[in-house]
Amino acid sequence: MAKIIIPSPLRKFTDNLTTVATSGNTVQEAILDLATQYQGLRKHILDTEQNIRSFIRIYVGEEDINALDKEQTAVAEDTVISIVPAIAGGAY
């Protein structure tokens, strides 16, 4: 049950939960489980072919999954996955 940290812009799709427990043995399975639990989130994190969208980064601990085994990176019960989106605020 890896824990996924949900960033602010996506919390409207997770009933404002900041973390969601997911099942699965890889990052891909965990993200798919998240998208299944919260359908509204699906189109924002996955494209039509179920690939993770390019405007968000996925981290396991402090490592970008692209430096690990990408979507196939293994996750354990105590793994913390972060979804890191681009945010643009500052001047306002």
Residues of the shown chain interacting with other proteins in the complex, contacts defined by CB under 8 A:
7-9, 12, 18, 44, 54-57, 59, 62-64, 66-67, 82, 84-92
Among 2, 17, 1, smallest CA distance to 82 is for 2
How buried is residue 77: exposed, middle or buried, by Cβ count under 10 Å (0-12/13-18/19+)? exposed
| Least distance from other proteins to the Cβ atom of residue 24, Å | 21
| Least distance from other proteins to the Cβ atom of residue 77, Å | 20
Write the CA distances from 11 to 4, 17, 18, 73, 84, integer angstroms.
12, 6, 7, 24, 12
Q: Which is nearer to other proteins, 1 or 84 (CB)?
A: 84
What are phi and psi for residue 71, nearest 5 degrees?
Answer: -65, -20
Please tell me the distance from the alpha carbon of residue 23 to that of residue 25, in angstroms, as a whole number: 7
Q: Which is nearer to other proteins, 23 or 68 (CB)?
A: 68
| Least distance from other proteins to the Cβ atom of residue 42, Å | 13
Q: Which is nearer to other proteins, 12 or 51 (CB)?
A: 12
| Least distance from other proteins to the Cβ atom of residue 4, Å | 13
